[in-house]
Amino acid sequence: MSTTFTIDAATSRATPVSAPMKRLTVPAIRARKAAIAAGTGAPLVMLTAYTVRMAQLMDAHCDMLLVGDSLGQVIYGLPSTVPVTLEMMAAHGAAVVRGSHHATVVVDMPFGSYEASPAQAFENAALLMKQTGAAALKLEGGTAMASTIAFLVERGIPIVGHIGLTPQAVNALGGYGARGRSADEAQKIVADAHAVAGAGAFALVIEGVVEPVAAAITDAVAIPTIGIGASARCDGQVLVAEDMLGLFERTPRFVKRYGDMAAFVAERAERFAGEVRDRSFPGAEQLYAPRD
Ligand code: KIV
């Protein structure tokens, strides 16, 4: 599998051309559960992507790219995912599909776009599928959303479920604390997992759930589980790419920072500012000389 992008100089950085890759399909992702159990498949890798360039850079390394509604906070500076709109998800979803050739692209259905009824969910899901070209959508909720998930799946829309800490429900949950600490709550999350898997979702994100509960769900359901603050036993893992890259100083406990992008960006901005102010930028090599 090639990871090299060749820049088409005629159209510059907007349209890097990748060596052809076959995009992973929803059935291939679903089948990974059995392969992992048989010891022949690797855990699923999922990262969020919101822009074409980030998709281009991460695509070859991921099984799934998630256009998460976390873009509300990461890209738009919103206080939560609640204000995120269908239009935002459609625009960023389309960009990520344009920037990828290998990973299955999954787009989040934003708050308010699917909860009212299965028919509302289908109308908005179809719009997202048409406008983005993504292979699948993700929506939050367990037992309460099972009939909606079944309605979408039966009509040709592959769905990733999302249970445990569901950020769109932050106002109802009262915060972003881990879920499943009490026996009652743990039981409800396990029931949610069964309901979502039984409804036909092809994968399940488990977020912010105490480890033994996430591990037990992974053992119990027939679809791949993707953990975030869940368990190393999950069938895959997902992180918000900007968290993983260290773009933010404050991150939840479950984030591992693989770099310090915040310091990198601030330091380069400071250097650039210094060179503009002392007139060392632009130098001769950045300027156009007149033709002789
Ligand atoms: O919106 C998002 O980025 C997500 C992941 C954190 C799973 O739902």
pLDDT digits (tens, 9 = 90+) for 232-244: 999 999 999 999 9
- Residue ranges and CATH numbers for the domains of the chain are 17-286 (3.20.20.60)
Measured in Å, residue 20 CA sits from the centre of ligand 1 at: 28
Cα 169 to ligand 1 centre (Å) = 13
Please tell me the residue having the least CA distance from ligand 1 atom 1: 68
In angstroms, the Cα distances linking 169 to 41, 77, 104, 175, 222 are: 34, 18, 26, 9, 26
**Over 90: is that where the pLDDT of 21 sits?**
no
Of ligand 1's listed atoms, the one at least distance from the Cα of 81 is 1
Q: Is 207 a catalytic residue?
A: yes
pLDDT tens column, 93-147 = 999 999 999 999 999 999 999 999 999 999 999 999 999 999 999 999 999 999 9
CA distances from 156 to 86, 128, 153, 204 (A): 20, 13, 5, 18
| Beta carbons within 10 angstroms of residue 285's beta carbon | 5
pLDDT at 13: 56
- Segment 197-223, tens digit of pLDDT: 999 999 999 999 999 999 999 999 999
Write down the pTM of the prediction: 0.93
Name the average pLDDT for the chain.
94
